[in-house]
Amino acid sequence: MPDTTVQRPSLLAAAASDVGRRRGNNEDRFHCDPARGIFMVIDGVGGHAAGERAAEIALRMLQARLERETGSPAERLREAITLANNEVNRLAAADPALSGMACVLTAAIVSDGRLTAGHVGDTRLYTFSQGLARKVTHDHSPVGEREDSGELDEMEAMRHPRRNEIFRDVGSLPHNPNDEEFIEILELPFGPENAFLLCTDGLSDLVPAAGIAGVVYAHADDPAAAVRQLIDEANEAGGKDNVTAVLVAGEGFAGTAARYRTSAGRAAMGSDWKRSVLRFLLFAGGAAAGLALAYAAFAWVRPAREWLLGDVRPASWSRTWRVGADASDDFRSILEALRRS
């Protein structure tokens, strides 16, 4: 008889959800079960009670099916998401108060050295390896398609007014497990030195991938601290939505991540964030406004850089620069000062 024992690596995992700064209720849900290797984030759609109800139904249905270890991980995910979809759809049709309820989700199973994910909508899965972060799911949205095709860069997509429109969800229409353009299945190798993050758009709409990577690598030995910091970052950036994060790390991730901490920190302060600061300053215009904004930008960049890079920073980082037309001034323009930084 063949050996059917499922091998799971030792996993460190943490998860949290926060209502954010602009919402009165939390329509996000999550599940974090490192013993079984089952993880998920769910974001309710349809407004207040309906969105929460859809997320709760999906959580319950997915958990029940995924804990029953029959079939391959991909088959389990397809069946679980379809069961959740059809139950949400049935209940929405039966109750006018729940009309339009749905959700988006990403669920993952870790077993036998593989990470298998099922994905619908604009929640996300990021993987972390060798100092890099990689978004492996596709946002099932018009803006997401344009970003994935390279038509929009990450910062442009994050600011796009149609960012939150989606064309796939769980619950709007009845489905079968293998329907086209319904469930996206991803299968990736997952070793002890790897980590991954599941999150709702309350995080990814406000914190770029480089910023997420900087936090994850800075707290490689403490997933709970990383999750708390990610939620804090989203709230400090405006907290416009509920924010949920599930971070899972292999037992060797912290050891291998240490050598990449500096490069991840540099990436977090790299071209995307610097470019966004420059665009913001140029948009603001005016010498007086520009000086005030430049001060705020440097006040923000400095602690972030020191926190991410530790002692790796130029000796003159704390220097005060003067911008003006006098010969004694260091720079003639704010843009010149920022480029020098």
Domain boundaries, the chain: 11-259, 272-340
Residues listed for the chain: 341
- DSSP, collapsed to helix, strand or coil, labels residue 31 as strand
Instruction: Please report which helix (H) or strand (E) contains residue 292, including its range.
Output: helix 287-309
Domain spanning 11-259, CATH class: alpha beta
Tell me the C-alpha distance between 263 and 210, whole Å: 10
Q: What is the pLDDT of residue 164?
A: 82
Q: pLDDT tens-digit profile of 63-75?
A: 999 999 999 999 9
Q: Are the C-beta atoms of 57 and 135 separated by less than 8 Å?
A: no
pTM as predicted: 0.76
- Helix 287-309 with 271-284: angle, nearest 10 deg: 160
Write the pLDDT tens digit of every residue in 156-184.
999 998 888 899 999 999 999 999 999 99
Q: In the chain, which residues have pLDDT < 70?
A: 1-9, 261-341
